Amino acid sequence: MASLSDRVDRTPTNADVLDMSRVEVVAPNLKSRLSGVTSTIVQLVPIQQRSIGIATIGPGLPDSLPKMRWWQLPALLVRPASGRWRIWHARRNVEMVAGLLLRWVFRAPVRLLFTSAAQREHQGFTKWLIRNMDAVIATSARSGAFLDVPHTVVMHGVDLDRFHPPAAATDRFADSGLPGRYAIGCFGRVRHQKGTDLFVDAMIALLPEFPDWTAIVTGRVTAENRDFANDLERRVHEAGLSERIRLLGEVPDIRPWYRRLSLYVAPSRNEGFGLTPLEAMASGSAVVASDAGAFAEMVLPGETGDVVAADDGPALTAAIRPYLADPSLAQAHGRNALAHVRQHFPLVREADGVAAVYNRLWAMR
């Protein structure tokens, strides 16, 4: 990776230089590892740039996004051509710190906005940072309950162009090459927090009774979670289900795998927000989820799926069983889920909610 000085000293071509005089919002991504925050920026900024001047800064973002360069940071010390205060839209502690440094040390004319997804009591330092923001967004009512400051709830949305029901033969489970007629999936990083073991245990208990179903687990396994993943594979092997519980690791494109599912399971023990149920529902899948994150605010029990208490393996298994016993129920709830997401969780609705907060910040005297 290039050093900061390498990045600052590089002389870019005219084609890749952003006109900072037109940038009114900066969305920093000051973390190199892919995370839910990164995913939010990647999906939301292309919608936002249709109506406002917005730029990203930081590593790990695709070249398709509007990016300011490190050497352009001094441009933040003056207002854009519109005369408005720039908005620094932070989503992590480090980005709140950077925003305060811009304001207090460098006297940059910026308004500071923080989006909070955490569903736990904030540490003292984080509370102090949040109190010094000009506005705060909570990504769910539950995350807002942990804030001690006025805030606006703007739930995440899903890109309905990228996540959609089966549209081609390759989207069908039959084209996957895996056994069975129906698929049930659990996607995301493979680790204890995500409840991957709860899903695997449920599949070991249920699949011998329902031979038409195959379970799919996808997601990155980090070095610190390798033993956890190996133990899951051992349990599957000992149960004699290695052909029907498939741990695929990280796949190049998760979207066709969503479209091949009849049922998606989100068994997290704890979560910030959690986008995977929305992605699954947008793909036409019913969802059984824990009540971690914002899952209980997405899934309608008895209509689009079911919700159980987090870390309750027997309850998770019991909630999954009716769908495996009656695939037509999964199909009906999958249709309901698609309609629900299209009405309540399109990405443009999130963009509009965030834009309303921007407008209030620009209206501040």
The domain spans of the chain are 12-157+347-363, 169-344
CA distances from 47 to 40, 41, 63, 157, 159 (A): 11, 10, 16, 11, 10
Residue 111, classified by CB atoms within 10 Å of its CB into exposed (0-12), middle (13-18) or buried (19+), is buried
**Assigned CATH class of 169-344:** alpha beta
pLDDT digits (tens, 9 = 90+) for 126-183: 999 999 999 999 999 999 999 999 999 999 999 999 999 999 888 999 999 999 999 9
Among 254, 310, 344, 295, which residue's Cα sits nearest to residue 141? Answer: 295
| Angstrom distance (rounded) from CA 248 to CA 22 | 44
DSSP for 127-189, written as a single string: HHHHHTSSEEEESSHHHHTT-SS--EE----B-TTTS-S--SGGGSGGGG--SSSEEEEEES-
Mean pLDDT calculated for residue range 275-279:
95
* Amino acid 8: pLDDT: 33
pLDDT digits (tens, 9 = 90+) for 191-200: 999 999 999 9
| Angstrom distance (rounded) from CA 231 to CA 265 | 20
CATH no. for 12-157+347-363: 3.40.50.2000
On average, the pLDDT of the chain sits at 93
For the chain, the straight-line distance linking the first and the last C-alpha, in angstroms and rounded, comes to 42
CA distances from 64 to 28, 45, 67 (A): 15, 10, 9
* Amino acid 169: pLDDT: 86
**Residue 197 CB-half CA count within 13 A:** 15
Any idea which residue has 């979670």 for tokens?
Answer: 225
| Angstrom distance (rounded) from CA 127 to CA 340 | 35
- pLDDT tier, 13 (very low <50, low <70, confident <90, very high otherwise): very low
- 85 token code pair: 């205060």
DSSP for 249-300, written as a single string: ES-S-SHHHHHT-SEEEE--SS-SS--HHHHHHHTT-EEEEESSTTGGGT--
- Angle, helices 36-48/347-363, rounded to nearest 10 degrees: 80
Among 156, 120, 148, which residue's Cα sits nearest to residue 297? Answer: 156
Mean pLDDT calculated for residue range 69-76:
96
Instruction: Look at residue 112 and give its three-state secondary structure.
Output: strand
- Angle, helices 124-131/93-104, rounded to nearest 10 degrees: 50
| Angstrom distance (rounded) from CA 43 to CA 158 | 8
* Amino acid 25: pLDDT: 98
- 49 token code pair: 């740039």
Whether residue 170 contacts residue 177, with contact meaning beta carbons closer than 8 Å, is answered with: no
pLDDT digits (tens, 9 = 90+) for 163-174: 999 998 889 999
- pTM value is 0.88
